[in-house]
Structure 1
Amino acid sequence: MLLSGIKGAWRIAQTTSVLAKNGFDWLRGDRPPTPKLLRETFEDLGATYIKLGQFIASSPTLFPEDYVEEFQACLDQTEPLPYSYIESVLQKELRQPLDQVFSEIDPNALASASIAQVHAAKLVTGEDVVIKVQKPGVEHVIHTDLNFIHLAMKILETITPHLEMASLSEIVEEIQKSMMDECDFLKEAQNIESFQRFLDETQNNLVVVPKVYHQATSRRVLTMERLYGVSMTDLDAIKRYSENPELTLRIAMNTWFASLHQCDIFHADVHAGNLMVLRDGRVGFIDFGIVGRLTPGTWDALNDFGEALIAGDYETMANAMVVVGITKQKVDTVKLANDLEKFIKRVDGLQSVSYLDITETENDINKLMTDFVRMAKRHGIQFPRQFGLLIKQLLYFDRYRHVMAIDLVAEDYMSFLN
C-alpha cells in the first residue's frame, strides 16, 4: 500500500511537471493552436494520455473537428524497451520457467506502443506465436492517470466553451471503460474467442482469427497464433495468395457484416494492418483490442438505412439516422436527405489511392468520417460512439473496394446484412 502510494505521488509529480513546463512555454510566447498544444502535452504525458488522444481521434461523434483532426497525429509508436524488462513481466505473469513454455523468444520487438510490446516466439510444442506483453508499470500509471481524466475533460470543456458533445460524465465513463478494456488482455482473448465461435456457428472456414494459447496468457500477457499474410490494401501481394481478389474481399465483407447481428461483438478497427490475406488465401482478422456492440435499435436502423440505400430513398435514410442519433431539435429530414445524397455520391466517386499508402488511406477515412459527422451535426444530430465506429468500418471496406476496383452496388452491400 505504501509503495503504491509513493508510485502514485511520483506519477502526479511527473504529470504536474509536464503541465508546468508546457504552461511556462505558453507564457513565454510559444503558443501553438489549442488542439496542437493539447496533443503535444498528451504525448509528453505518456501512455494514458496517448490513448486518450487516440480516443479523441477516433471519436468524431463526440469531439470537435479541429481536435479530431489534430489528434490523428497522436502516434502510438515508442522505442522498444530492452527485452530484460519484457522478460520480467513474462516471468511474473506466467509463474513458471519461460523455457517450459517457449522454446525461443525473439528479443527484438516486432512492434512497440505505449501500453504493450509484441515479440515473435515459438512454443515448446512447436507453434509459431506472437506475444503481446504489457510494459512494466503501465497499468499502475494508467490507473493513477484515470483520476486525472475527469479534470482533463473539464479543461477541454473550459477552453472550448461551445463544445457540442454528449454529457461529460458519459464521455469520461466511456474513456475509462475503453482504456481499461485495452489493458485487460483476458478481455481481448475473450473477444477473439467470441468471434471464433461465430465463425464456427456459421461454418465459416474461409476466415480465421489467431488461436489464443491460454497456458501462456494472463491479464498482462496475450500469446496468440502467428498468422502470415499481407495487408488487404496490397493488391499485388494479394494476387500471389488469392486467385480471385474480388471474392476474397467479398468473403471479408460478408463475414464482418454477418458478425453485426450474429456475434456478441464486431471488429471495430478493420484498418489495413488488422485485415490480412493469408498465404493459403483465407482472410485473417487480427487485433481485437477495440470492438463494438450493437443495440437492437441500432441494428434495426442500420437495416432501414440499407434498404433505403437500395431504393435510393435518401429521406428514409435520413429518418434512420434520426432514430439512431441523439437530437434535441426537430430535424428537417428533406434537407438532411439532400446532404446525404451528396455525401454518398462523393464517396462513390472517390478514386483509389496507392494501395501501398496505408497512411493516406487512413487519413482519407478519417476525413470522410469527420465530414459525415459534421453533416449530421449541422442538422442537430449527434451519434453515439458505437455508431461512429460502425460507420468508420463501412468506409474502410468501401476503400478496399476502390483499391481492388470492384464494382459493388447497393444490393451487394445489403446482401451482406442478410
Structure 2
Amino acid sequence: MVFLTQNTSRQREILEVVFRNGWDYMRRLLTVGKAESPELPTPTVLRNILVDLGPVYVKFGQLLSTRPDIIPPNYIEALTALQANVPPVSWTNIETLLREQLKAPVDQVFSEFNREPVAAGSIAQTHRARLLDGEEVAVKVQRPGIDQIVEQDISLIKSLAELVARTDFGEDYDVVALAEEFTNALRAELDFTQEATYTDQLRRNLQNSNWYDPKQVVIPAINWEVTTPKIMVMEWLEGAPILSAKLPKAEEEKRRQEVTTLLFRVFFKQIYIDGFFHADPHPGNVFYLNNGQLALIDCGMIGRLDPRTQQILTEMLLAIIDIDAQRCSQLTLELSESSSEVNLTNLENDYERMLRKYYNLSISQINFSEVFYEILEVSRNNKVKLPSNMGLYAKSLANLEGVARGFNPDVNLLDEVRPLMTDLFRNQILGSNAIPTLLRTTLDLKSLSLQGPRQMELLLDRVTSETLSWNLNIRELDPLRRSIDDSANRLSFSVIVASLIIGAAIISSNAQTPQLSLISNVLFAAASFIGFWLLLSIWRSGRLK
C-alpha cells in the first residue's frame, strides 16, 4: 500500500490530523486497509480536517465543493465556506519572487508597491501597486514554494484515493478518476497566465449583448507585459463586495432591482448563450464599484457547456417551473454519460416525490438552486452519472441565487428569466449566427429531398419482395420470455403426469399377465416421481401460493 509504505513526516501528519478529528472510518481504512462500509465524516469534521492539513487541502476542499453531483448539499455548504487560515508571506520572499519573475528589480517596473497585501489566500496574495506609467493595478502573487507543496500533497491525495477506491463508495464514484480531475484543476490554478486568458475571454464575451448595457459590467483588464505564470497584473477596481455595497438612500430599492436584473442577465448570457461562465460567483467575487458598475473578479474557475447541454438545461428549467417529473427524468437521462442500468420508473418516482413539495408554492417561493441540488441528489441515488460540468453549473446557480437574494430579498427568478426565454429558444433554434445555421438546414433539406425518393423506392421494393426484416430489442422482454417458458414447461409436465396416471390406471384395471402389472407399476412410479419433482420445483420458486 503506497500510502503506508512510504514513511514521510507529511503522511504521519495526515494520520495525526485524521485521528485527532475522529474520522473512524478513515482510521480503519488507513491502519487495516479496509472498512465495512463507506462513512463520510460530518461536514464540520471534514472541514476541520482540511483546515488542519493546510492551504493545499483547503483549496482541494473548495474544488470539491463544486461537485454537488457527488456530495450532499450540507457538505457543499461547509466546503464552500472554507478559508485557509494562512498568514501573508513576508515582503522579503514576495520581493524575491517578483524579481525572479519580472527579471528586474521591483522599482524598475512599479513606481509604488504596497508591501501589505489587501487579501491573502491559500495559493496567492494580492497587493495594490502603481506602474511606471501611473496606472493603478492589483498584483496577484503566488505564494513562494507553493508549487512544490502542491505536488507533494497531490501524490498523497492520489494515494488516499487508491485506498478509498477499494470500497463500494470508491467504485461507484470512480474516486481515482475524481482525484485525477481535482488534482489537474489544482495544478491549473498555479498557472496565472491561464486565469488571465480566462479573464480576457470573459471580458470579450460580455462586451456585446442585447440583454444589458455592456458599459455597466466590468471585468478587470490584464496587463500582459508584466503577467507571468506566477504573477498576474490587472487593473485596480475601486469598490466593495456587493453585499456590503452602499447605495444611495433616495433610490436604493430601484437600484437594487436594476443591479439584480443586470447580475442575472450577465450570468444567463454566460451560461445559456456563450457556454463559458464564471463558475465561482460568491459574494467576494462580485463587486459593486463606486461609479455604479458591476464587476466580476477572480476568474480562475471557469465552466463550459456545449450547445446540446445548454438546450437540455434550458428545457430542464422549464420542466422545473412546470413541476414535470417525467420530463425531468427524460432530460436527466439525456445528460447522463451512462444510463443503461438506470430504472426509468424509479427515477420518475423519485422526481415525483421531490417535486411534490413544490406543488402548492408560488414561483417566488421556490429556491431554484435548492431544486437543482435535489435533482443532482436524485441522479446520484439512481446511479445516473452526470458530466462534471453539471456540478459547476449547479454550484454557480446556487451562488448566483444566494448573492441575488442577499442583495435583493424580493428577487423573483422567474421574473428575471421570463423576458429572456424567447431569445434563448431562438438562439437554440438558429444559433448565435443565423445565416450559417439556415444554410446548413437548407443543405440538409436538399440532401433529404434528393435521397428521400430513392430510400422510399428501396423500402417498397423490400416490402413487395418479402425481404424486409425487423430487428426489435424490447427491454425487460427476456425475463418475461423465460417466465412464459417456465410456465409452458410445467404445464407440459403436468399433462405428461396426468397421461401416465391415466395410462397406468387403464393398464392396471385390465392387467391379466404379470408383464402388464409391471408396466402399470412402472408408469405409476414415473408419474409419482415427475409429479413430486414438479411440486418441489414450484415450491422452491416461491410461487406455490
In 1, Cα distance between equivalents of 2:121 and 2:283: 18
In 2, Cα distance between equivalents of 1:341 and 1:348: 16
Unaligned runs of 5+ in 2: 1-5, 28-38, 425-545
1:138–1:14 distance in 2 versus 1, CA, 3 Å: farther
5 Å-filtered alignment, 1:90-129, equals 90-129=98-137
In 2, Cα distance between equivalents of 1:98 and 1:44: 34
Conserved 8 A contact 2:21-2:48:
no
Deviations 1:348-406 (Å, cap 9, x if unpaired)? 5379xxxxxxxxxxxx97x8775553343334434333112212222233334433134
Conserved 8 A contact 1:318-1:337:
no
In 2, Cα distance between equivalents of 1:223 and 1:232: 23
Instruction: Name 1:318's counterpart in structure 2.
Output: 329
Match of 2:409 among 393, 405, 412: 405
5 Å-filtered alignment, 1:5-404, equals 13-22=8-17, 35=41, 39-63=47-71, 68=76, 71-72=79-80, 74-158=82-166, 161-163=168-170, 165-202=172-209, 204-234=214-244, 236-237=246-247, 244-263=255-274, 265-326=276-337, 327=339, 328-332=341-345, 334-335=348-349, 336-342=351-357, 345=361, 348-349=364-365, 371-403=374-406, 404=408
Secondary structure at the residue paired with 2:83?
Answer: coil
1:24–1:50 distance in 2 versus 1, CA, 3 Å: closer
In 2, Cα distance between equivalents of 1:388 and 1:91: 39
In 1, Cα distance between equivalents of 2:135 and 2:275: 29
Conserved 8 A contact 1:165-1:382:
no
Deviates more, 1:35-44 or 1:376-385: 35-44
1:271–1:69 distance in 2 versus 1, CA, 3 Å: closer
Normalising by structure 1, we get a TM-score of 0.81
1:136: Cα distance to partner?
0.8
Q: Aligned letter for 1:227?
A: L
Instruction: Name 1:360's counterpart in structure 2.
Output: none
Higher normalized helix content (fraction of residues): 2
Conserved 8 A contact 2:161-2:179:
yes
Deviations 1:190-225 (Å, cap 9, x if unpaired)? 000001111234372221100111122100001111
In 2, Cα distance between equivalents of 1:95 and 1:325: 49
In 1, Cα distance between equivalents of 2:123 and 2:297: 18
In 2, Cα distance between equivalents of 1:410 and 1:128: 40
Conserved 8 A contact 1:61-1:383:
yes
In 1, Cα distance between equivalents of 2:342 and 2:75: 25
Q: Which has the larger radius of gyration?
A: 2
Deviates more, 1:252-261 or 1:300-309: 300-309
Q: Which has the higher contact order (CA 8 A, sep 6+)?
A: 1
1:41: Cα distance to partner?
4.5
Secondary structure at the residue paired with 1:183?
Answer: coil
In 2, Cα distance between equivalents of 1:307 and 1:201: 26
1:238–1:182 distance in 2 versus 1, CA, 3 Å: farther
Conserved 8 A contact 1:183-1:220:
yes
Q: Aligned letter for 1:21?
A: E
1:86: Cα distance to partner?
1.0
Secondary structure at the residue paired with 2:126?
Answer: strand
In 1, Cα distance between equivalents of 2:249 and 2:278: 25
1:411–1:19 distance in 2 versus 1, CA, 3 Å: closer
Deviates more, 1:229-238 or 1:189-198: 229-238
Conserved 8 A contact 2:275-2:306:
no
Deviations 1:39-64 (Å, cap 9, x if unpaired)? 54443443332222222233221246
Conserved 8 A contact 1:229-1:278:
yes
Deviations 1:75-125 (Å, cap 9, x if unpaired)? 224111111111111111111221122111111111111211111111122
In 2, Cα distance between equivalents of 1:346 and 1:89: 56
Conserved 8 A contact 1:369-1:392:
no
Aligned length: 392
Secondary structure at the residue paired with 2:139?
Answer: strand
1:71–1:408 distance in 2 versus 1, CA, 3 Å: closer
Secondary structure at the residue paired with 2:260?
Answer: helix
